[in-house]
């Protein structure tokens, strides 16, 4: 077995792991790089392998940093199966075309206004590429043993991070390797806890919050205070939100707060067509989350769903108090950028982040205290209050990551720590080393690991 770390090594995005078994070749995850420019530029570089040489692709979940490169893979000639959970298939049918449309729209906008360094600006992939990738999806049930290719088998278990999110165990040549995927929290207010890990010889584990512990504060309590503060001063609350997972959690929390009179009854807008499309899926997969039918109904009606571009633009002409939830979660693109342009210079505004902000994103810059951010080629002054919630993360912290792995019935021979910034990955390496007394490594981009194949 040979594993090549082609993404999420020394970074928190771009997950890609190439596995060679002698009898077959598999790609585990196929994500986009996000964040700083040097990472984003990797999306445009040729892959170091021929996509047509792959026998299969296995996806842990539908977030773009794990799935968003699939359209490029399909465009470059891959025609094999892409295995994923059924809920992931449904989400990908929303996520990939939306990502393609966004890239096409941003390229067109850049060409119209002339702020791109490229002439002409072009999208990484098109909506047609996205639909070609969707045609390759093969949904598989959790805990089923599937034949991936000659001599290679895989099984999926619940990761708790998102609808359809899974950890994947692969067995070949008498050896096994387990990929955690993105792990959710044990007591997440929305999603059910991850399944305990199966025994495996080798483990690849994420480390997004490998150097941090989440706050024990109740999510409703933490959210209510900044909302009340901003709304009392007549401000607009802009919540850059991940359209799948975080948007639904926030709708649920706002519905609960409003129902008990803990926040004012002000207009709430969900300005994300992708989030609107994803929200009904929670009714179809009740075994994956904690919400009752009544809570799902309340979540679905608490906000006005903004559909058209015209309606989105009209929000920018209104005044507060009001709450706008809009993608993207790191303010790296999408409709939220237009809201930031309209309201970030108003001192009454609150910009509220609810999840991880990768280095190099506007979200990270705003949380770092930037007094201006560049949007669509223009500098926008920031006078708004900016803050981050810590109770709404959908990633396990280091204590939860260690607890998950040590719950395995057998300690692995070696652990690889990926999908984290360098400090977070190294911190988790040290935590795991103390807890497990096995070799723990933080691989570098492009590094290859080979086992002794029997």
Write down the pLDDT at residue 453.
42
Q: What are the residues whose beta carbons fall under 8 Å from the beta carbon of 282, sequence distance 6 or more?
A: 163, 248, 289, 291, 296, 299
Write down the pLDDT at residue 327.
84
* Sign of the alpha-carbon dihedral angle for 372, 375, 377, 381: negative
Identify whether 87 is preceded by a cis peptide bond (ω within 30 of 0). Answer: no
Q: Which helix (H) or strand (E) holds 175?
A: strand 175-179
Give the 3-state secondary structure of residue 51: helix
Q: Are residues 239 and 101 in the same domain?
A: no
Q: Give the end of a domain, one of 337, 363, 388.
A: 388
Q: What is the CATH number of the domain that holds 174?
A: 3.60.15.10
Q: Are residues 231 and 264 in the same domain?
A: yes
Q: Are residues 343 and 435 in the same domain?
A: no
Q: Are residues 33 and 166 in the same domain?
A: yes
Q: Give the end of a domain, one of 336, 366, 388.
A: 388
Q: Are residues 257 and 200 in the same domain?
A: no
Q: What is the CATH number of the domain that holds 305?
A: 3.40.50.10890
Write down the pLDDT at residue 454.
41
- What are the pLDDT tens digits along the chain (454 aa)? 999 999 999 999 999 999 999 889 999 999 999 878 889 899 999 999 999 999 999 999 999 999 999 999 999 999 999 999 999 999 999 999 988 988 888 888 777 776 666 678 888 999 999 999 999 999 999 999 999 999 999 999 999 999 999 999 999 989 999 999 999 999 999 999 999 999 999 999 999 999 999 988 899 999 999 999 999 999 999 999 988 889 999 999 999 999 999 999 999 999 988 889 999 999 999 999 999 999 999 999 999 999 888 999 999 999 999 999 998 888 888 899 999 999 999 999 999 999 888 788 899 999 999 999 999 889 999 999 999 998 898 999 999 999 999 999 999 999 999 999 999 999 999 999 999 999 999 999 999 999 864 4
The total domain count for the chain is 2
Write down the pLDDT at residue 121.
80
Q: d(Cα 180, Cα 404) in Å, to the nearest integer?
A: 10
Q: Are residues 106 and 89 in the same domain?
A: yes
Q: Are residues 203 and 248 in the same domain?
A: no
Q: Exposure string (b/e) for 185-222, b if CB count within 10 Å is 16 or more? A: beebbbbebbbebbebbbbbbbbbbbbbebeeeebbeb
Q: Are residues 231 and 199 in the same domain?
A: no
Q: Are residues 198 and 240 in the same domain?
A: no
Write down the pLDDT at residue 183.
98
Structural domain containing residue 176: 2-212+394-450
Q: Are residues 140 and 41 in the same domain?
A: yes
Q: Give the end of a domain, one of 361, 388, 415.
A: 388
Write down the pLDDT at residue 116.
62
Q: Are residues 207 and 285 in the same domain?
A: no
Q: d(Cα 354, Cα 79) in Å, to the nearest integer?
A: 37
Q: Copy the structure tokens of residue 259.
A: 């129902």
């Amino acid at each position: 077995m040979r594993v090549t770390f082609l993404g999420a090594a020394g970074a928190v995005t771009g997950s890609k792991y190439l596995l060679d078994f002698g009898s077959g070749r598999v790609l585990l995850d196929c994500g986009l790089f996000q964040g700083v420019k040097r990472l984003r530029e990797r999306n445009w570089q040729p892959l170091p392998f021929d996509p047509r040489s792959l026998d299969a692709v296995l996806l842990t979940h539908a977030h773009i940093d794990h799935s968003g490169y699939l359209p490029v893979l399909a465009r470059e000639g891959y025609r094999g199966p892409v295995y994923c959970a059924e809920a992931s298939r449904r989400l990908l049918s929303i996520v990939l075309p939306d990502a393609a449309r966004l890239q096409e729209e941003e390229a067109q906008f850049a060409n119209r206004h002339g702020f791109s360094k490229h002439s002409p600006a072009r999208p990484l992939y098109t909506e047609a590429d996205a639909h070609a990738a969707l045609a390759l999806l093969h949904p598989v049930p959790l805990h089923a043993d599937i034949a991936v290719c000659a001599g290679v088998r895989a099984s999926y278990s619940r990761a708790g991070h998102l609808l359809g999110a899974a950890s994947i165990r692969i067995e070949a040549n008498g050896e096994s390797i387990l990929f955690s995927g993105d792990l959710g929290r044990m007591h997440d207010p929305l999603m059910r806890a991850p399944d305990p890990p199966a025994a495996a010889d080798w483990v690849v584990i994420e480390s997004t919050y490998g150097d941090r512990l989440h706050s024990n504060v109740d999510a409703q309590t933490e959210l209510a205070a900044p909302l009340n503060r901003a709304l009392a001063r007549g401000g607009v609350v802009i919540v850059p939100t991940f359209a799948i997972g975080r948007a639904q959690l926030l709708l649920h929390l706002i519905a609960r707060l409003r129902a008990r009179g803990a926040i004012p009854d002000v207009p709430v807008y969900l300005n994300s067509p992708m989030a609107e499309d994803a929200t009904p899926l929670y009714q179809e997969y009740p075994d994956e989350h904690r919400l009752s039918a009544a809570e799902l109904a309340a979540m679905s009606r608490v906000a006005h769903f903004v559909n058209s571009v015209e309606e989105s633009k009209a929000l920018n002409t209104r005044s507060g108090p009001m709450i706008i939830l809009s993608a993207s979660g790191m303010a790296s693109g999408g409709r939220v950028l237009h809201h930031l342009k309209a309201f970030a210079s108003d001192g009454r505004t609150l910009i509220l982040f609810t999840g991880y902000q990768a280095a190099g994103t506007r979200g990270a810059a705003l949380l770092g205290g930037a007094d201006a951010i560049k949007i669509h080629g223009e500098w926008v002054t920031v006078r708004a209050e900016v803050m981050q919630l810590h109770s709404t993360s959908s990633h396990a912290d280091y204590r939860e990551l260690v607890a998950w792995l040590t719950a395995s019935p057998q300690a692995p021979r070696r652990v690889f720590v990926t999908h984290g910034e360098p400090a977070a990955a190294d911190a988790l390496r040290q935590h795991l080393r103390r807890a497990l007394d096995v070799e723990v490594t933080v691989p570098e981009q492009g590094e290859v690991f080979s086992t002794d194949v029997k």
